[in-house]
Amino acid sequence: MSERFHEPVAAADVAADTRRGAELRVLLGPRTVGSTSGFMGVATLRPGERIAEHYHPYSEEFLYVARGAITVDLNDVAVPLAAGEALFVPIDVRHRLRNTGAEDAEVVFHLGPLAPRPELGHVDTELVTQRGGS
């Protein structure tokens, strides 16, 4: 068990990953708290911003919209989500997140189980610049 389990982790204290679009911050994960079964974080998307399409070959993903509104494209089927709504993304399902609202959107995400190695856990299927990413 991690010795850091009792320490809160603030989003402001975690560097943003912007490689796939938007700002992704892993708050609770192997590097931050030593978790071994999954990780959790928050994505912040400005209006019109997106997270490029990808899939997870080892993990299920759980999404919860804490603020704003987004559309999640699941294998090219658009699923709108408003604040207070959640969505389950199964293993191997291609998905893209788009902020379709007029305000910033915050999406809490959790993935589990972990891939055998970090580089195997995420497969990009489009570039951020394809389909209008920033």
Write out pLDDT tens, residues 16-61.
999 888 999 999 999 999 999 999 999 999 999 999 999 999 999 9
Residue 70 has pLDDT above 90, yes or no: yes
Structural domain of 52: 40-116
Quick check: is 56 in a domain?
yes
Whether the CB-CB separation of 104 and 47 falls below 8 Å is answered with yes
The answer as to whether 88 is a domain residue is yes
- Residue 17 in any domain: the answer is no
Note whether residue 9 is domain-resident. Answer: no
Q: b/e map of 12-41 (b: 16 or more CB within 10 Å)?
A: eebeeeeebbbbbbbbbbeebbebeebbbb
Number of domains in the chain: 1
pLDDT digits (tens, 9 = 90+) for 56-67: 999 999 999 999
pLDDT over 70 percentage in the chain: 91
- Its pTM stands at 0.90
Question: Is 16 strand, coil or helix?
Answer: coil
Residue 104: CATH number of its domain? 2.60.120.10
Domain contains 95: yes
